[in-house]
C-alpha cells in the first residue's frame, strides 16, 4: 500500500494527492522486476488536510439545483399570473372545484376514458395543500348523460 496525500472536503468527499511513499510492490515494479504497480492507497496523517468548502462535483450539483429551483419559481410565478383566482386567498394554494368530462391523464385509451365508460363520467378535482406540497384528490361518478369537455383546466403545482 502506497502512502498518498489527501484532501478531505466539507461534503466528506476526498481527493487523493501525490504519492509520498512507495510500497515494496511499487518499488519492485519501478525496478522492472514486479508484475504491476500497487493499486491500494492509504492516506498519510500529516499530509491529509481538511478544507472548508465542497468538492467540485458537489458545487456543480448545488449550482444546478439552484438553477432548477429558480426555474421552478419562475414557472410558479407564471402560473400565479395566468390563474390569479387559483392563487388568491389566505396564502394557501386552494383552487375551486372543477368538473371535466375526462379524468386527468395523457390521451385516451382507444376512444374510451381511463375508467372505461366512454366519456360519461364526471370527475371532480380538488387540490389541497399539505406540508410537503399539493395533493390531487379525484372523485369519479358514472352518469348516463353526456357532458361537455372543459377546455381550460386549473393546473396543480407541486413543489
In a domain, residue 78? The reply is no
For residue 153, the model assigns a pLDDT of 53
Cβ of 8: how many Cβ atoms within 10 Å?
A: 15
Q: Which domain holds residue 143?
A: 92-151
Query: What are the tens digits of pLDDT across the range 67-105?
Result: 999 999 999 999 999 988 887 765 555 555 544 444 444
* Chain centre distance of CA 102: 29
In a domain, residue 128? The reply is yes
Cell 413543489 sits on residue: 159
Q: What are the residue ranges of helices labelled H in 1-159?
A: 24-31, 56-82, 84-87
In a domain, residue 76? The reply is no
More confident residue, 40 or 145: 40
Q: In the chain, how many domains are there?
A: 2
In a domain, residue 82? The reply is no
When pLDDT is cut at 50, 70 and 90, the band that residue 149 belongs to is very low
In a domain, residue 56? The reply is no
* Sheet strands side by side (includes 98-100): 98-100, 121-129, 134-142
In a domain, residue 80? The reply is no
In the chain, pLDDT over 70 holds for what percent of residues? 55
Query: What are the tens digits of pLDDT across the range 24-41?
Result: 888 888 888 878 778 888
Question: 79-111: b or e for each residue (b if 16 or more CB lie within 10 Å)?
Answer: beeebeebbeeeeebbbeeeebebeeeeeeeee
* pTM for this predicted structure: 0.44
Amino acid at each position: 500500500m502506497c502512502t498518498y496525500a489527501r484532501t478531505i472536503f466539507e461534503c466528506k468527499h476526498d481527493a487523493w494527492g501525490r504519492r509520498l511513499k512507495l510500497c515494496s510492490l511499487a518499488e519492485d515494479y519501478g525496478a522492472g522486476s514486479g508484475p504491476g504497480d500497487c493499486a491500494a492507497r492509504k492516506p498519510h496523517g500529516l499530509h491529509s488536510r481538511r478544507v472548508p468548502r465542497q468538492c467540485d462535483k458537489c458545487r456543480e450539483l448545488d449550482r444546478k439545483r439552484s438553477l432548477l429551483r429558480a426555474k421552478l419559481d419562475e414557472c410558479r410565478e407564471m402560473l400565479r399570473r395566468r390563474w390569479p383566482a387559483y392563487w388568491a386567498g389566505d396564502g394557501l394554494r386552494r383552487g375551486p372545484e372543477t368538473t371535466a368530462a375526462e379524468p386527468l391523464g395523457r390521451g385516451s385509451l382507444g376512444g374510451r376514458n381511463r375508467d372505461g365508460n366512454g366519456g360519461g363520467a364526471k370527475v371532480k378535482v380538488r387540490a389541497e395543500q399539505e406540508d410537503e406540497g399539493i395533493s390531487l384528490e379525484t372523485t369519479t361518478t358514472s352518469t348516463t348523460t353526456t357532458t361537455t369537455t372543459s377546455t381550460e383546466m386549473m393546473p396543480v403545482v407541486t413543489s
